[in-house]
Amino acid sequence: MRTMRGAMQSDTIAAIATPPGVGGIGIVRVSGEAAFSIVLPLFRRPGGEQTLPPSHQLTYGRIVNPRSGEVLDEVLVAFMRRPHTYTREDVVEIQGHGGPLVLQRILRLVLEHGARLAQPGEFTLRAFLNGRLDLTQAEAVMDVISARTEAGLQLAMQQLQGRVSARLREARQTVLGVLARIEASIDFPEDDIPTPHADELRPHMLTAQRMIDELLAGAEQGRLYRHGLRTVIIGRPNVGKSSLLNALLRSERAIVTPIAGTTRDTVEEVANLRGIPLHLIDTAGITPTDDPVEQIGIQRSRAAAESADLVLLVFDCAEDFTAQDRQVCEELLRLGFGRQDKVTANGRAGRPVILVLNKIDRPRSLPLEQVRRFWPEAPLVMTSTLTGEGLSQLEETIANLVLAGRALQDDSVLVTNLRHQEALRLASQHLQAALATLEQGLPLDFVSIDLQAACHALGEITGETASADLLERIFSEFCIGK
């Protein structure tokens, strides 16, 4: 198991330190020996000052990609010298205002400049191992690590289903194939195995690199990130749809942008959920009516619903299950919503519905079993837009559906997990280095060094270990045993 190659100490780690989706300000935390030397070149202050700012003080400036000159965000940065820091190592905290998406780009920049993505609970672990936390806190540290990992693992596995993992395995097998040819000729020089030439290896290495780069490009430009998730808020009148919309937007007020051209019938706004744009569409309703003006609104609502990736179906907790509620439910079922495991007539997977029982601040009278008769398995969240109760749980539920890949309408190859992206980036870098070694005409042994590393990086995502796989490939492809 080489996932611990980075070890737990000594190297410099980075992660977003603020919980996702809370407030406009986020922090990227960097800890370790190289924390200062990694961040300083990315940080530009007014006047061009380049020395290290005084320890433990917030300094204003911008985060700039030194290669492209692109400004990522205006930030406040604190450089904190050990040992008076959370981890007792040199720590840098970058406070950004640009929201989660920008924060992720800052983090990625830090990773590209030599930091390693922190494992779950690793800052706390370092704090403990460096004597910053006392013994009684050890149990708590272990709780944190195991809890976060369980959740993380589950999500990561779910994301890897389908085409992403197939593409990943294919890329890894391609690298492994090149490695097997090299290693077979090295380990069995007297067998009937030809020494591979650069010209035979290069195309396979380029293919693997292209596959990996495509996966990476998908991660950054995938439909989800480009277009966001179309989330339609539906329910009969007066259940609190608009206030739910506003409540969801409020938590991300800094980055709300009204979309031009919205009508009074469907209001569309964009919130940001863990880096994914959430297009919230408030509809006038989709129940039949005789009013010709409302008719137009209903058609628009229906069109909106049909194109939605996800539906938030809102009920009023304080009232009975009305005929209008029933009509909304029937209409949604007809449109093919909520059957998550089934494929609808047009070939698309059934789109999920989240049941939102609003107004829980008032006495409850909605019979839940009536709702459940229509939606036996849909996730259910109780909210109060008045008190704000349940809103973070709703965000969590949406995020889980999205990251689990269940709310995606197209089959674009998409890597959403930052850890996976980081592993892909490393794999791509190593392949690049291996190709450079090959071009320099160095012996095969040197080419294999970076190929091994690329294989390990990809194996960290797929959970496969190289050495057993490699021998398997060698023995299945080459007749060994002279």
Binding stretches for another protein (CB under 8 A): 1-11, 119-122, 125, 128-129, 135, 138, 141-143, 145-146, 148-149, 153, 183, 185-192, 195, 440-446, 448-449, 452, 465, 467-468, 470-471, 474-475, 479-482
Q: CB 133 → another protein: shortest distance, Å?
A: 10
Give the whole-angstrom CA distance, residue 170 versus residue 203: 15
Taking the least distance from each CB to another protein, the nearer of 70 and 477 is 477
At its nearest, how many Å lie between another protein and the CB of residue 172?
16
13 CB-contact burial (10 Å; exposed 0-12 / middle 13-18 / buried 19+): buried
Q: How far is the CB of 6 from another protein (least distance, A)?
A: 6
List all residues 6 or more positions away from 108 whose beta carbon is below 8 Å from its beta carbon.
418, 421
Pick 16 or 125: Cβ nearer another protein: 125
5 versus 56: smaller Cβ distance to another protein: 5
- Please state the closest distance from residue 144 (CB atom) to another protein, in A: 10
- Report, in Å, the least distance between residue 198 CB and another protein: 12
Match 């009232």 to its residue by tokens. Answer: 319
* Burial degree of 428 (CB within 10 A; 0-12, 13-18, 19+): buried
Work out how close the CB of 4 gets to another protein at its nearest, in angstroms, rounded to a whole number.
4
Q: CB 286 → another protein: shortest distance, Å?
A: 46
Q: Of the candidates 263, 348, 339, which has an alpha carbon nearest to the alpha carbon of residue 304? A: 263
For 210, the enclosing helix (H) or strand (E) is helix 198-221
Of 31 and 283, the one with the shorter C-beta distance to another protein is: 31
CA–CA dist 355, 382 (Å, integer): 8
The helix (H) or strand (E) run that includes residue 329 is helix 323-334
Half-sphere exposure of 402 (CA within 13 A, CB side): 26
Name which of 1 and 345 has its Cβ closer to another protein.
1
Cβ atoms within 10 Å, residue 40: 15
- CA 456 centroid distance within chain: 21
Q: Which lies closer to another protein via its Cβ, residue 297 or residue 459?
A: 459
Helices then strands, each counted (H, E), the chain: 15, 14
Nearer to another protein, 102 or 111 (CB): 111
Helix axes 138-159, 391-403, angle to 10 degrees: 50
Nearer to another protein, 457 or 474 (CB): 474
Least separation in angstroms between residue 155's CB and another protein is 14
Angle at 62 between CA 60 and CA 68, to 5 degrees: 165
